[in-house]
Structure formats: C-alpha cells, structure tokens
C-alpha cells in the first residue's frame, strides 16, 4: 500500500479544489474558509459542478448533506445526481443551490421542543470549512442542520459559533501583545477507545444488541489484573482489522496515527494526528462509523459504549485541545523567548480560570447514562473537575503569585515579558492519568468524555469558556500603561483566584474527594445532578454573550439529553426483564430440575448427593431473590412509559431504576457462576473478553 497515494483520495480537499477550480473561484472559496466571508450563488454553482465531476469520476452516484443531529451520531439522506433528459437519457446534475442548502424532514430528530411538530421542516447548510468526501459511492457534504426559525438542531452549528467567538477573543489579546496573527484556531486530537468482540458471541447477547452494554455477567476468573493487555502484542485477527480500518480512514483523509491495545482485555485505541476542531469532529464521527462497519467485515462487533463490561475498564475519548494562530504558533507552547513566555502564561491562565469558573459546564458536557458508570470508578477521572499542571509548572505559577524568584534549572524567573521561564519537563512519563483536565506540555487533555460522545459538545464548551476569559483579559489589558506590569498583575490575580482547581495528586483517591469539597469545587456525580445546570443563569448568559447557544437552544438540549438518559435506562431495564424472563429463569429452572431429579434418584439408591441437594437449595434461593427484584424493576420500568417532567423522571431512574437493576443483576450473576455451562443461555464475560 502506498499511503501518500491513497491518503485523502476520497476527499475534495484544498489540493483538489485548487487544481479543479478556476483561480478566482478558488480564491473566493478560500476567503470563505479562512475569513468566514459568504459565497455568492454563481461561485457556488462553479464549485458544485467541479465537485460533481470529481465525485462522479471517483465512483459516486449520489450526494448527501451529511449532518450531526443531537442524537450525537451523523445523519444522511441520499439523492442521486441523475436528472432525466427529454430524450429518455439522464445527465448527472448538481447545482450550487443544492450544494449550499438542503431540506430535511426534521420531525424524527430530537429537537427538544425547538421545532413544533407541525413545522417538520429543517434545513441543512453547507459548511465550506469542512471538506466533502466520498463514502459508499456517495458524495457527503458536511452541513449544519437548523430549524426554519434559525435554531441550531445539531452539534456542528454551536461548534462553529464557538470557534468564531474564540477567534475574536484570542485575537484581541494577541493584538495587545503585538502579534499580527489573522486568525486563532482551536485544534483537537481525539483518542478513541473501543472494544472488539467476536460477532457470533455478540449476536447471542440481547443486552449488547439492545444497549451495547452487558447488563448481566459474572466476574470471570481473569480480568485485567496482570496488566498484560495494555500495549501488548496485537492479535493477528485484530491486526488485520486495524490495517483495514487505517486504510479506509486514510482514504477519507483521517490521519489515523497510533493504535494499540488498551488496559482491558479486548480493548483498543486509535488516535489520529490532531486537526482543526470541526474537522477533528467530522473525522472522529467517521472513525466511529468506520470502526463499526469494518468490524462486521472481520466478524467482530465494535463496541463504542462507555462501559460495556463490569470488572474491567470502560472506554473514553480523550480530547486533546490547543490553540494556534494561522501562522502555526501554538499559544499553549511555553516557547523560548520572554515574549512567547508571556503569551503562554496568559493563555495558560485563561484556560485555568475558565475551567475553574465553569467546572459545572465541563462536567455536564460529558454527562450521559453510560458515562456515569465510568466516571469516578477508579478507571476514569472523577466527576469532580480539576486541572493537572505538573509540579514544576505549578511551582512557577506559585512563585509568580508570591512575587518570589523561581530557582529551578539554575535560572531565575520573575518578570513576565522580560525573563524566560525555566525549562520545565514536558510530557514527563509520570503524567497524571487520574486527572480530568491535564496540561501535557503544549495542550490540554480532557479525559472525562466517554468513548461514544461527539467531540463537538465538550469542544464547544471549552472554546466558549476560554473565549469568555480572554475577552475579560482583553478588557483589563486594553489601555494599560505598562503592558508587562499589567500582564504580571493579571496572571498573578488570575492564578490566585483560580488555584483551587489545580490538583496534581491522585484523582482516584478518597482523600481527593474530601479535599475537593474543602476547596469548594463542584461535585456533580450523576447525569441528573449535572445536566440541569446547563440552563443556570450564569451559563445562559455566557452562551448568549458569545452567540453560541440561545436560551431556547439550551433548554432544548437539556430536555433532549435528559430524555436520552431516561430512555437509555428504560431500554436497559426492559432488556434485563426480557432476558430474565425469557432466558435466565427457564435456564436455571432446567438446571434445578436436572439436579433435583438426580438427587431424588440418588436418594432412592442411598447414594450421596450433597452437591445436587445443596446446589438446588442455593439455586432456588437465588431464583427467589431474582424474582422479587424482577417484580420491583418491572413496576418501575412500567412507570417510565410516559413522563413529562424530565428532571424528576431522570432522578427517578437514578434513585429507583438503577438500584433495582443492580438488585436483579447480583443474584443473576451468582446464578451464572453456579449453573452448568450447558444451561447458561449467554456467552460469559470470559468468552467475550478472551476468546477472540
Ligand atoms: P497519549 O495516549 O499519551 O495521551 P496519544 O499519542 O495516544 O497520547 O494521543 C495524543 C493525541 O493528542 C493525538 O491525537 C495527538 O495528535 C494529539 N495532539 C498532539 N499535539 C496536539 C496539539 N497541539 N493540539 C491538539 N492535539 C494534539
Ligand atoms: Mg491520552
């Protein structure tokens, strides 16, 4: 395989555009991409024709507006290019109008009350900053998805808005520092964890089929205690899958770079090279989709859910985030000159303050039923948000606050904008993996997102909260007499007021939870605790100030996300009931019958039958426990058929339904470990995790 040759072969990217578009059209498009200028229809027509020709030459028969509704996945409706002619032939047709705007019946997508049911129409609008690509013989055009009233019904629109506000705020600050940057861009690298299990075993598990999470399952003899899977040799069958996956991603221009086995057995990770936030979002969506599709071909099932199996780690999606100028200067890179250092400290402290002020937003940006099983379980960061800076950088900031000299590496440091920060160890191996938000040398790594979450939500939030602090910084610095003095003061004040958010210790420990409480940090352990805060006054004002979400859009999202939480748990509860009733009870009954018959037979000829009699007793006891739990869960699940108060119902799910599910699972798992293999209706954890 010649990678440079196949890379981005299926993408209508700037190289292709430059080659295929007339010079003035390409220039106009570049202005749209780089500076956000709007495109006129005649330019769009030329681009559409070039796009169509390229797509048809490369095997496309259809086109689609590819968008990201609030389901968190992508949606597409395909139209073929054909247009019948008078002489019973067809031509391949595609106009600028169709490129720029499409209509989609929005009625089946969650809208959280944004779109009255009588107004079913929504429209999709081309995002020229994301490249079109060919997938399954279809030209996919990345688009935003809005209601006719102009409300964003998707995840892309707020993300683009947040990038714009961040750009403006960062440029204000840079201007004060004498920079002539034209644009500031957030970059994202999304590490994606996933499980691969054998498809045949998967197809025998209703829980995995309906919920992508095992709802029953006894602890196998071995889990991850030997740490022999992490970075271990990749099995041949998995290797073949990964190679296939890489090739497909490369063709789509996704710069898949790193792949390795993860901590849990059957768990793996893929990380691309980082790119501009909205492109990284598209790429991650494509990666997830292609991971699933490729798994089918290799007779695997790819599980992207956050906690498919108890007793082993769940899967996350680490969002690496940084800010760069159009000239490629990473603003989170300490740099080598006093000016670069001052710039670094300003942007670093802006992020620190933003995270400190908006812990609630970061927490709720990753809230979902699935991720609740992961956060705080000593396998993923706790639900309490904090920042890891490393000891050395923390000491530097401390010294700035105290106005002291910092004597490490034989250098002195103090005057911002005049002196140089001593080199601190970047990317050290003891990087704290228990921290939700870690500074890793020249970027931040947000580790709380669950594996199936869209990158868009958390990135939109990070962009906006940082923009808000940068605006505040610019307000303070504009008009300062001595800019270096003003910057020193600003950094000092900012670190002082936000220092409670900095924590370099073990985020998994109980002591940290107590310490965090003392520091007054926000603790929102579950989704129903976290989500409603989206609509808090502080947050509505913040997002409206930056034009990222309107109040109505926020309310709609709270409703959609709570509804999704409730429905996820309802489906899980109903699946558990179905499995108990249809499969587990009959299987155990059969086992009891066999053992009881044997016991009877043995007794009739005076033979010992301790095993059978004792097991029958244990099995029947556990069955009774299970049945009692079954009835309780059934009552709760039935209550979830209709609801109007989302917050109350979500709390009911957390407080009643989830504990009832656990009460049903516990005796069932014990039964699994007692009942003979031939009776148990499902593949076991051991088989699913180790028998690939
Ligand atoms: P680790 O698992 O040690 O965190 P990985 O190599 O798996 O490291 O992932 C690091 C991710 O961070 C990659 O996707 C990488 O491209 C991305 N990354 C590196 N530098 C930056 C940056 N400046 N901005 C955003 N993302 C970055
Ligand atoms: Mg990482």
Closest atom, ligand 1, to C-alpha of 322: 24
Give residue ranges with CB within 6 A of ligand 1: 187-189, 191, 258, 271-274, 318, 320-322, 330, 442-443, 445
Q: What is the mean pLDDT of residues 350-361?
A: 98
Q: Is 5 helix (H, G, I), strand (E, B) or coil?
A: helix
Q: Distance, CA 359 to ligand 1 centroid (Å)? A: 23
Closest atom, ligand 1, to C-alpha of 440: 4
Q: Distance, CA 99 to ligand 1 centroid (Å)? A: 34
Q: Which residues of 613-625 are buried (b: 16+ CB within 10 A; e: fewer)?
A: bebbeebeebbeb
CATH numeric code, 162-192+203-549: 3.30.590.10
What is residue 117's predicted lDDT score, i.e. its pLDDT? 47
The more confident residue out of 47 and 405 is 47
Closest atom, ligand 1, to C-alpha of 320: 26
Closest CA to ligand 1's atom 11: 189
Q: Distance, CA 274 to ligand 1 centroid (Å)? A: 7
**Fold for the domain defined by 3-154:** Ubiquitin-like (UB roll) (3.10.20)
Closest atom, ligand 1, to C-alpha of 272: 14
Indicate whether 208 pLDDT > 80.
yes
Closest atom, ligand 1, to C-alpha of 321: 25
Ligand nearest to the CA of 447: 2
pLDDT tens sequence across 371-399: 999 997 778 889 999 999 988 888 888 88
Place of tokens 């210790």: 505
d(CA 366, CA 371): 7
On whether the CB atoms of residues 221 and 234 are closer than 8 A, the answer is: no
In 3D, which of 253, 208, 201 has the Cα closest to residue 684?
A: 201
Q: Distance, CA 469 to ligand 2 centroid (Å)? A: 26
Lowest average pLDDT, out of 254-268, 396-410, 432-446, 598-612, goes to 396-410
Share of the chain above pLDDT 70, in %: 95
Place of tokens 């190289």: 15
Lowest average pLDDT, out of 163-172, 418-427, 541-550, goes to 418-427
Q: What is the mean pLDDT of residues 77-102?
A: 89
Ligand nearest to the CA of 431: 1
Ligand nearest to the CA of 230: 1
Closest CA to ligand 1's atom 7: 271
Ligand nearest to the CA of 333: 1
What is residue 427's predicted lDDT score, i.e. its pLDDT? 46
Q: Distance, CA 650 to ligand 1 centroid (Å)? A: 35
Ligand nearest to the CA of 316: 2
Q: Distance, CA 270 to ligand 1 centroid (Å)? A: 11
Closest atom, ligand 1, to C-alpha of 332: 23
Residue 34 pLDDT class (50, 70, 90 cuts): confident
Lowest average pLDDT, out of 75-79, 367-371, 461-465, 678-682, goes to 75-79
Token pair in block for residue 119? 């107004």
Which strand (E) or helix (H) includes residue 82? strand 82-84
Ligand nearest to the CA of 324: 1
Closest atom, ligand 1, to C-alpha of 442: 23
> Mean pLDDT in the chain?
92
The domain ranges of the chain are: 3-154, 162-192+203-549, 564-689
Pocket test for ligand 1, best of 256, 259, 270, 320 (most atoms within 8 A of CB): 320
pLDDT tens sequence across 109-154: 777 766 554 456 788 899 988 999 999 999 999 999 988 788 898 9
The more confident residue out of 123 and 62 is 62
The interaxial angle of helices 338-357 and 483-498, nearest 10 deg, is 30
Share of the chain above pLDDT 90, in %: 76
Report the 3 state secondary structure along 474-521: HHHHCCCCCHHHHHHHHHHHHHHHHHHHECCCCCCCHHHHHHHHHHCC
d(CA 141, CA 247): 21
In 3D, which of 235, 183, 492 has the Cα closest to residue 342?
A: 492
Pocket test for ligand 1, best of 271, 275, 319, 325 (most atoms within 8 A of CB): 271
Closest atom, ligand 1, to C-alpha of 330: 23
Q: Distance, CA 689 to ligand 2 centroid (Å)? A: 23
d(CA 220, CA 201): 16
pLDDT tens sequence across 318-345: 999 999 999 999 999 988 877 778 899 9
Q: Distance, CA 659 to ligand 1 centroid (Å)? A: 38
Pocket test for ligand 1, best of 185, 263, 274 (most atoms within 8 A of CB): 274
CATH of 564-689, one of 3.20.20.70, 1.20.120.1560, 1.10.150.170, 1.10.10.350: 1.20.120.1560
Q: Distance, CA 322 to ligand 2 centroid (Å)? A: 14
Lowest average pLDDT, out of 50-59, 231-240, 332-341, 544-553, goes to 332-341
d(CA 587, CA 454): 40
d(CA 100, CA 147): 15
For residue 101, CA distances in Å to 67, 142, 466, 600 come to 12, 11, 32, 76
Closest atom, ligand 1, to C-alpha of 188: 25
On whether the CB atoms of residues 561 and 367 are closer than 8 A, the answer is: yes
Closest CA to ligand 1's atom 1: 191
Residue 17 pLDDT class (50, 70, 90 cuts): very high
What is residue 410's predicted lDDT score, i.e. its pLDDT? 46
Pocket test for ligand 1, best of 184, 185, 189 (most atoms within 8 A of CB): 189
What is residue 474's predicted lDDT score, i.e. its pLDDT? 97
Q: Distance, CA 302 to ligand 2 centroid (Å)? A: 20
Q: Distance, CA 345 to ligand 1 centroid (Å)? A: 21
Q: Distance, CA 9 to ligand 2 centroid (Å)? A: 29
Q: Distance, CA 449 to ligand 2 centroid (Å)? A: 12
Closest atom, ligand 1, to C-alpha of 269: 7
Q: Distance, CA 440 to ligand 1 centroid (Å)? A: 9
Closest CA to ligand 1's atom 2: 191
Ligand nearest to the CA of 262: 1
Token pair in block for residue 54? 């390229």
Query: What are the residue ranges of helices labelled H in 580-684?
Result: 585-604, 610-639, 646-652, 658-674
Angle, vertex CA 219, rays to CA 213 and CA 225, nearest 5: 100
Token pair in block for residue 121? 């129409």
Ligand nearest to the CA of 187: 1
Closest CA to ligand 1's atom 17: 189
On whether the CB atoms of residues 105 and 122 are closer than 8 A, the answer is: yes
Ligand nearest to the CA of 446: 2
Indicate whether 484 pLDDT > 90.
no
Closest atom, ligand 1, to C-alpha of 274: 16
Q: Distance, CA 428 to ligand 2 centroid (Å)? A: 13
Q: What is the mean pLDDT of residues 475-497?
A: 92
pLDDT tens sequence across 649-671: 999 999 999 999 999 999 999 99
Widest pairwise Cα distance in the chain: 104
Q: What is the mean pLDDT of residues 598-627?
A: 95
Q: Distance, CA 311 to ligand 1 centroid (Å)? A: 28
In 3D, which of 641, 688, 692 has the Cα closest to residue 216?
A: 688
Looking at residue 653, the DSSP 8-state letter turns out to be I
Residue 512 pLDDT class (50, 70, 90 cuts): very high
What is residue 673's predicted lDDT score, i.e. its pLDDT? 96
Closest CA to ligand 1's atom 19: 274
pLDDT tens sequence across 395-452: 888 888 887 766 554 444 445 665 666 555 454 434 678 899 999 989 999 999 999 9
């Amino acid at each position: 395989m010649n990678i440079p040759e196949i890379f981005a072969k299926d993408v209508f990217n700037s190289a292709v555009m430059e080659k295929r578009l007339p010079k003035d059209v390409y220039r106009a498009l570049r202005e749209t991409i780089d500076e956000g200028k709007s495109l006129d229809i005649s330019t769009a027509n030329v681009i559409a024709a070039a796009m169509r020709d390229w797509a048809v030459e490369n095997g496309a028969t259809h086109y689609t507006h590819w968008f990201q509704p609030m389901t968190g996945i992508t949606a597409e409706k395909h139209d073929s290019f054909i247009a019948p002619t008078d002489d019973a032939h067809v031509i391949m047709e595609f106009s600028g109008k169709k490129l720029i705007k499409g209509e989609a019946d929005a009625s089946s997508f969650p809208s959280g009350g944004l779109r009255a049911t009588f107004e079913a129409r929504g429209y999709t609008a081309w995002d020229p900053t994301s490249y079109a690509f060919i997938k399954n013989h279809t030209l996919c055009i990345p688009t935003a998805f809005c209601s006719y009233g102009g409300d964003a019904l998707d995840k892309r629109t707020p993300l683009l808005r947040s990038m714009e506000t961040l750009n403006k705020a960062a440029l204000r600050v840079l201007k004060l520092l004498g920079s002539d940057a034209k644009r500031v861009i957030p970059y994202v690298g999304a590490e994606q964890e996933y499980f691969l299990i054998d498809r045949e075993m998967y197809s025998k598990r209703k829980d995995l089929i309906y919920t992508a999470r095992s709802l029953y399952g006894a602890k196998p003899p071995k889990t991850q205690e030997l740490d022999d899977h992490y970075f271990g040799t990749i099995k041949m069958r998995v290797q073949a899958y990964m190679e296939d996956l890489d090739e497909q991603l490369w063709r789509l221009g996704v710069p898949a770079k790193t792949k390795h086995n993860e901590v849990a057995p059957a768990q793996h990770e893929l990380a691309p090279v980082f790119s501009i936030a909205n492109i990284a979002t598209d790429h991650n969506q494509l990666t997830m989709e292609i991971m699933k599709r490729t798994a089918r071909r290799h007779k695997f099932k790819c599980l992207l859910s956050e906690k498919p199996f108890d007793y082993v780690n769940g899967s996350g999606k680490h969002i690496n985030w940084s800010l760069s100028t159009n000239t490629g200067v990473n603003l989170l890179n300490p740099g080598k000159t006093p000016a670069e250092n001052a710039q670094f400290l300003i942007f670093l402290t802006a992020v620190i303050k933003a995270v400190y002020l908006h812990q609630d937003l970061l927490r709720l940006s990753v809230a979902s039923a699935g991720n609740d099983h992961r956060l705080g379980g000593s396998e993923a960061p706790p639900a309490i948000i904090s920042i890891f800076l490393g000891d050395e950088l923390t000491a530097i900031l401390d010294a700035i606050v105290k106005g002291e000299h910092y004597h490490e590496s034989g250098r002195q440091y103090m005057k911002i904008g005049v002196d140089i920060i001593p080199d601190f160890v970047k990317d050290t191996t003891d990087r704290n993996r228990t921290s939700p938000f870690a500074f890793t040398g020249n970027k931040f790594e947000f580790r709380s997102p669950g594996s199936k979450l869209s990158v868009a939500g958390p990135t939109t939030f990070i962009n906006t909260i940082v923009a808000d602090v940068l605006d505040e910084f610019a307000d303070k610095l504009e008009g300062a007499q001595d800019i270096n003095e003003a910057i020193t003061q600003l950094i000092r004040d900012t670190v002082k007021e936000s220092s409670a958010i900095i924590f370099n210790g073990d985020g998994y420990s109980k002591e940290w939870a107590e310490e965090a409480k003392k520091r007054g940090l926000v603790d929102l352990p579950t989704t129903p605790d976290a989500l409603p805060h989206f609509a808090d006054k502080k947050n509505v004002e913040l997002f409206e100030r930056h034009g990222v979400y309107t109040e109505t859009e926020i309310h709609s999202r709270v409703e959609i996300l709570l509804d999704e939480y409730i429905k996820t748990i309802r489906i899980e509860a109903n699946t558990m009931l179905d499995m108990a009733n249809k499969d587990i009870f009959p299987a155990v009954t059969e086992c009891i019958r066999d053992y009881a018959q044997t016991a009877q037979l043995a007794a009739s000829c005076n033979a010992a039958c301790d095993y059978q009699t004792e097991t029958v007793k244990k099995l029947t006891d556990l069955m009774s426990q299970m049945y009692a739990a079954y009835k309780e869960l059934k009552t709760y699940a039935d209550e979830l058929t209709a609801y109007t108060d989302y917050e109350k119902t979500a709390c009911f799910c957390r407080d009643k339904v989830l504990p009832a599910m656990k009460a049903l699972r516990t005796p069932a798992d014990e039964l699994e470990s007692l009942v003979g293999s031939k009776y148990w209706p499902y593949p076991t954890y051991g088989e699913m995790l180790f028998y690939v």
